[in-house]
Amino acid sequence: MLQEYHKQKEAEGLLLDKSVNDTDVVFSNLGKPLRPNTVSRAWAMLAVKAGVKRIRLHDARHTHASLMLKQGIHPKVVQERLGHSTIAITLDTYSHVAPGLQEAAAKRFDEAFQKKRVEIG
């Protein structure tokens, strides 16, 4: 989502004959940095309006990644969504969230092996 936003701002910059770079502010319409607590405060107000438990943005990001991996979403997709530079970062950070992955892998291998045995035998 941020990559799309950055591309949009880059295109707008070309129209305005103004370059966009990595130090540009992402969220400010005025081109000035937001105060550090602005996004956190907006997030907290959103939680209150939605009637859900307030959690940190970082925790929401971690939950999002964990749920995707538990649902079998390919780690490469999770890496891209999180903006990690390598898949190793994603796997190192989130591999602990799904302790049942080894059992699931063994079960799937066993099912494939049993199917092959039936086909052969």
Q: Tens digits of per-residue pLDDT, 82-106?
A: 999 999 999 999 877 666 777 888 8
Q: Is pLDDT of 62 > 80? A: yes
- Annotate 84-109 with b (16+ C-beta within 10 A) or e (fewer): beeeeebeebbeeeeeeeeeeeeeee
- Say if 1 falls within a structural domain: no
Say which residues have a Cβ less than 8 Å from residue 30's Cβ, sequence separation at least 6.
none
- Say if 10 falls within a structural domain: no
User: Residue 93 sits in which domain range?
Assistant: 55-120
- Say if 80 falls within a structural domain: yes
User: Does 14 or 111 have the greater pLDDT score?
Assistant: 111
User: Does 118 or 75 have the greater pLDDT score?
Assistant: 75
- Say if 78 falls within a structural domain: yes
23 — pLDDT class (breaks 50, 70, 90):
low
Q: Is pLDDT of 115 > 90? A: no
- Calculate what percentage of the chain has a pLDDT beyond 70: 68
User: What is the number of structural domains in the chain?
Assistant: 1
- pLDDT the model gives residue 96: 78
- Say if 95 falls within a structural domain: yes
